[in-house]
Amino acid sequence: MRWLLVKDLQIMRRSPLLVALLIVYPITLALIIGFALSSPPGKPKVAFLTQVPKGRGKVHFGSQNIDISSYTKDLFDSIQPIIVHSQAQAIADVRSGRALAALIVPADIPEQIQSLVTTGVGSPTVRLILNTRDPVERQFADQAIQARLNEVDQAVSKQVLRVAVVDLQQVLSGGSIQFLGQSFRLLGLRDSRTLLRRVIAALPAKSPLRAELSKVVGFADLAIQGLAFASPVLGSIGTPLTVDQTELSGRTTPTAIYAVTIAVIVSLMLVTLLLAAGMLALEREEHAFARLVRGLVSPGALLAEKVVLAGGCAAAAAIVMAAGVSTFVPLEWSRFPLWVVALVVAGIAFGALGVAIGGLAREVRAASLLAFMIALPIAFIALVPTAAVSSGLSSVLDGVAFVFPFKPALEAANNAFSGTAPGMGWPLLHLAGLAVAFGGLARVAVRRLA
């Protein structure tokens, strides 16, 4: 087997495409994934038109003014604004593709907000124009703008509520207000009630005013109780619901690490399948298979050599890729030996599947095509979330995923990279079983090669 391995490595060394596949491919992929996962999302270009005249963006509420134009800069945190000066220009920018969307703030938005906060009537509306040519870009722009608008909406609401709460407190407890540069003391309900009680106590016992003033004190009591209750209620409206999150299955894998694991296993699978299937089919194409198995090498040893070659090369490439990505995404280097174990065992299982494909296809081109045709669906099926499909279909997909190495390879590598549950034992055992099964299938298939 050693000499066959040396021979195959010599052949690979003289095939620039294969060398590129094994060296450049994982490094390039690692860099692309690393940059993609570590870079913040880009800002969509949005044509922005505000029709609110300068200095007219203030809403008066209680004792304070809120300048809604100050919230524009918050919106610009999420978009790359293209300031336009007319609706026609905004629409033209979206049509031409210069902007993904246009956001138009109407001139009467301060009045609309004013009406809402003072009378509770109205629904302040801004206009969003989206380009529907590219559904992905459309969704990206829509989500970025909607999310930021919601934040602005909430910020304005909180500001209004804060003003309302402060004013209520002043009505209840009094305070000082600034007017024309001078400070005035404001009498609150509580102090008013105290004053009234003193006045009542000072009145003659038979005074008819006592009963009248006692009614006013009763009203003050009710108002104090009601407003004291209203104040914290108003404060809670800004954040009405808080989610207390509990995770039941121990540590979960960070999304970025899971994405890296998927990329590494997809690469491992493709390289292993293509190498194992291609190199076995090459023995047939070079007419050497019959000569080899005619007493020089047993078919089992020949298959094992291809599995070791493909699995080993692909595992090495996957380790290089994972190491490259780890400069962007924090993988656990302390678990490096487990990386090697997971990727080598996964490589062997994929290698066994690859030689089965190579044995069935017999020609390099057919084997490569078949490897691709099998690889992509098994990766797709293994990645479909159980909750995303009906229970019947989920069982079918689970069954299909079970008989191919992608899912256990993903579980093993995921655990190796991040130490998350479940452990590596079962996935490794699963991979070993699949390696034996596909090795047996390959052994039957290569009988046809001779």
Binding site for other proteins (CB under 8 A): 3-4, 6-7, 10-11, 14-15, 286-288, 290-297, 450
Residue 305 Cβ vs other proteins, minimum distance, rounded to whole Å: 11
Residue 296 Cβ vs other proteins, minimum distance, rounded to whole Å: 4
CB-nearer residue toward other proteins: 2 or 206:
2
CB-nearer residue toward other proteins: 2 or 215:
2
CB-nearer residue toward other proteins: 11 or 36:
11
CA atoms of 285 and 280, how far apart (whole Å): 9
Residue 98 Cβ vs other proteins, minimum distance, rounded to whole Å: 53
Residue 10 Cβ vs other proteins, minimum distance, rounded to whole Å: 6
CB-nearer residue toward other proteins: 54 or 287:
287
Residue 282 Cβ vs other proteins, minimum distance, rounded to whole Å: 9
CA atoms of 421 and 251, how far apart (whole Å): 7
CB-nearer residue toward other proteins: 421 or 444:
444
Residue 288 Cβ vs other proteins, minimum distance, rounded to whole Å: 5
CB-nearer residue toward other proteins: 269 or 449:
449
CB-nearer residue toward other proteins: 225 or 298:
298
Residue 267 Cβ vs other proteins, minimum distance, rounded to whole Å: 25
Pairing between β-strand 45-50 and β-strand 101-105 as defined by DSSP bridges: parallel
